[in-house]
Amino acid sequence: MKKKTVSAMLAAVLTGALLAGCGSAATTTAPAESAAPAVESAAPAESAAPAESAAPAESAAPAKSAAPAEGGSGAAGHTYAIVTKSAGNPYNEREASGFQETIEAEGGTCIVQHPEAATADAQIAVIQSLISQGVDSIAIAANDANALTAALTEAKDAGIKVITLDSDVTPEARLTFCNQAGVTEVGQALLDAVYDLTGGEGQYAILSATSQATNQNAWIAAMEEITKSDEKYSKLECVEVAYGDDEPQKSTDQTQALLQNYPDLKVICSPTTVGIAAAAKVLQDQGSSVKLTGLGLPSEMAEYIGDDDAHSCPYMFLWNPIDLGKLAAYTSIALVDGTITGAEGETFEAGDLESSPYTIKALADGTGSEIILGPPFKFDPSNIEEWSKVY
């Protein structure tokens, strides 16, 4: 991974902070006549990389933002929208920042929409509004795999290029899916962390987002499938999958309920950035012996990461949501300008993202296509402080 300057780090963080203030309102930004180059996303120094066994592929590191091509690109004159899961979700806000930065750097107009609630109904209202506005593309992090099908199909029928990122819908409702990491790879990483932190046996619980969240459900299903197929995990007992609905207070309440209901609980695994932050605070404030792992934002989790009794989370995983937003932006541009259609085997350039050019792959069940950003990245005491300055 390449070193970046401190100023670049601050710029990347400020980008996320600015978007966080958008609330549920749309941010529509028309590019200047000559689009300014995007700010580089900061990457920690190479010394911050985790141990060899947890080292990610280069695509897991924050990549440089692509400078616009001479005279702009195929994005000029087009409008690209991104719809997050809900307002006030820091992870989604960082996805949106990467998306917006790339679209504007490439000469396009960007609309950012943060629905008021993490529900399908809230996203459907946003989709209908974007159809009325006649946008060229919609990238959406879905709150429900099935409930958005009709609205997104209507958008496609209107000539809008529809993709998903972070959380997918039924394949017929979009052209392709920008996946942060392979489902099995995420499930394996989370299950191995549970195995490690429990000592290979005992009770653990999962604190998820909503019961309809397609990405959460896919990772949990992968964990269950691996457990059933490998005798190594036979002494682990998942006592409950709780749902905090990606709301801090509900996630806090669910954590407290898990501690009360399962006195022999050893580990909580939370594959959601909102849930893991809420659980980390509860466990650390109470001095609980229950340990935590899952998927979290380094900037929110730095104070909880540690391998001693004073810290609730020995280590966790994630990918760079800014880069995922950038990948979705480059995918949207390539669809709008006709470089790709979303079919398996097609390739396209994605600026200076480390894994560019990307190849579209078939989903495991053969029902659609996806583009994988890279494997999950491990954050632990050796690198958390440096990464927390990035996102």
Q: How far is the C-alpha of 81 from the C-alpha of 329, rounded, in Å?
A: 9
Residue pair 97/325 in contact (Cβ under 8 Å)? The answer is yes
DSSP state, residue 289: S
Instruction: Tell me, rounded to whole angstroms, the distance of Cα 378 from its chain centroid.
Output: 15
pLDDT score of 73: 60
Angle 214-229/183-198 helices, nearest 10 degrees?
60
Other Cβ atoms closer than 10 A to 121? 12
Give domain 183-318's CATH superfamily: Response regulator (3.40.50.2300)
Instruction: Assess contact for 178 and 368: CB atoms under 8 A.
Output: no
Provide the CA 115 distance to its chain's centre, in angstroms. Answer: 17
The strand pairing partners of 163, in sequence order, are 139, 176
Q: How far is CA 27 from CA 30, 40, 61, 85, in A?
A: 10, 21, 27, 15
Residue 219 and residue 183: Cα distance in Å, rounded? 6
Give φ, ψ of 163 to 5 degrees. Answer: -130, 165
Q: What whole-number distance in Å separates Cα of residue 342 and Cα of residue 283?
A: 44
Average pLDDT of each block of 10 consecutive residues along the chain (391 residues)? 35 36 37 32 35 33 35 78 94 95 98 96 98 98 96 98 96 96 95 98 97 94 98 98 97 98 98 98 98 97 97 97 97 98 97 94 90 94 94 89
The DSSP symbol for 234 reads T
Whole-angstrom distance, CA of residue 327 vs CA of residue 165: 9
Enclosing H/E stretch for 190? helix 183-198
Residue 56 near residue 378, CB atoms below 8 Å = yes
Distance of CA 388 to the CA centre of its chain: 16
Question: Using CA atoms, how far apart are residues 323 and 340, in angstroms rounded to an integer?
Answer: 20
C-alpha–C-alpha distance, residues 234 and 198, integer Å: 13
Radius of gyration of the chain (CA): 20
**What b/e sequence results for 329-362 when a residue is b if at least 16 CB atoms lie within 10 Å of its CB, and e otherwise?**
bbbbbbbbbeebebeeebebebbbbbbbebebbe
- pLDDT, tens digit (0-9, with 9 covering 90-100), for 153-177: 999 999 999 999 999 999 999 999 9
Same fold flag, 6-181+320-388 and 183-318:
yes
CA distance linking residue 266 with residue 62, whole number of Å: 33
3 state DSSP class of 145:
coil
CA pair distance 103, 31, nearest whole angstrom: 9
The span from the CA of 282 to the CA of 198, in Å, is 19
Q: What is the pTM of this model?
A: 0.73
What is d(CA 142, CA 226) in angstroms, rounded to the nearest whole number? 25
Q: Which helix (H) or strand (E) holds 214?
A: helix 214-229
What is the per-residue pLDDT for 54? 34
Q: Quick one: tokens of 52?
A: 């060899």
Q: Which CATH fold would you assign to the domain 6-181+320-388?
A: Rossmann fold (3.40.50)
Domain ranges of the chain: 6-181+320-388, 183-318
* C-beta of residue 252 within 8 angstroms of C-beta of residue 282: yes
Tokens for 378, please give them. 């491990």
Q: Where are the alpha helices (DSSP H) in 295-383?
A: 298-301, 321-336
pLDDT at position 374: 86
Q: Which residue has the tokens 């549970």?
A: 194
Backbone phi, then psi, for 196, in 5-degree steps?
-65, -50
Which distant-in-sequence residues (6+ apart) come within 8 Å of 77 by Cβ?
A: 107, 108
